[in-house]
Structure 1
Amino acid sequence: MRIAKLLKWLTGAAELFLAIPILGGTFILATGYVPLTVMFIAHAVTLVLCLKERSSIYGSVVGLLTSVLAWIPFLGWFMHLVTGILLFVSAMRDERQRYPHR
């Protein structure tokens, strides 16, 4: 498995965790918004690796935007959800492009 694809799965899972309505918001507030900074760095690293591996960058770009805007309550929830789904779809799409017979 390529590193960029693995990071898409991991950051997608983290985004979907943060999209859990009460749990995700409580986690972000309880940790002083540090997860948003960590996710920004994780999305930036994923973006660089996707560019290097010529993989889809859309999930990582949206993830960077989400990390910047997620402090806004309902917008943050929606963006975490969309970003997580987009990263999962992108990771699955990478799999199909690499192995087209599946």
Structure 2
Amino acid sequence: MAISQVMQLITGIFEGLLGIPLFGGIYIMGSGYTPLFVMLVLHIITLLLASRDRRWIAGSVLGIITSIIGFIPLVGMVLHWLTSIVLIISVFQPKRY
């Protein structure tokens, strides 16, 4: 498994955890929205690694968007779910040629 796939899996799991109703919102707001900034950095790193390894980048791009507008309560929760699903699916996709 390439490092880009590992990062996609890790960021996918983290996004899924942030999308848990009530828990995710309390954690994000209680931490001063720092988890959104951390996830933004992780998604940028994952995007660069996935691009280098010619892997799917849609999950990382969606993750960057989610990190930017994820502070909106219900919208953020749904975006975290979608991003998590797309990232985990992208782990199992073949390389782009």
Residues in 2 aligned to 1:56 and 1:90: alpha-carbon distance in whole angstroms = 6
CA RMSD of aligned residues (A): 0.8
Structure 1 residue identity aligned to 2:79 = M
Residues in 1 aligned to 2:91 and 2:7: alpha-carbon distance in whole angstroms = 9
* Correspondence 1:66-81 to 2 at 5 A: 66-81=66-81
Partner of 1:32: 32
Q: Which structure shows the higher helix fraction? A: 1
Partner of 1:45: 45
Structure 2 residue identity aligned to 1:83 = T
Cα offsets for 1:11-60 (capped at 9, x unmatched): 00000000000100000011000000000000000000011001100000
Question: What's the secondary structure of 1:35's corresponding residue?
Answer: helix
Residues in 2 aligned to 1:86 and 1:69: alpha-carbon distance in whole angstroms = 17
* Correspondence 1:1-102 to 2 at 5 A: 1-93=1-93, 97=94
Gaps in structure 1 of 5+ consecutive residues = none
Gaps in structure 2 of 5+ consecutive residues = none
Structure 2 residue identity aligned to 1:73 = P
Equivalent pairs counted in the alignment come to 95
Residues in 2 aligned to 1:23 and 1:86: alpha-carbon distance in whole angstroms = 21
Using the TM superposition, give the Cα deviation of residue 92 of structure 1 relative to its aligned residue in structure 2, in angstroms.
1.7
Question: Of the two, which has the highest radius of gyration?
Answer: 1
Indicate the percent of aligned positions where both proteins have the same amino acid: 39
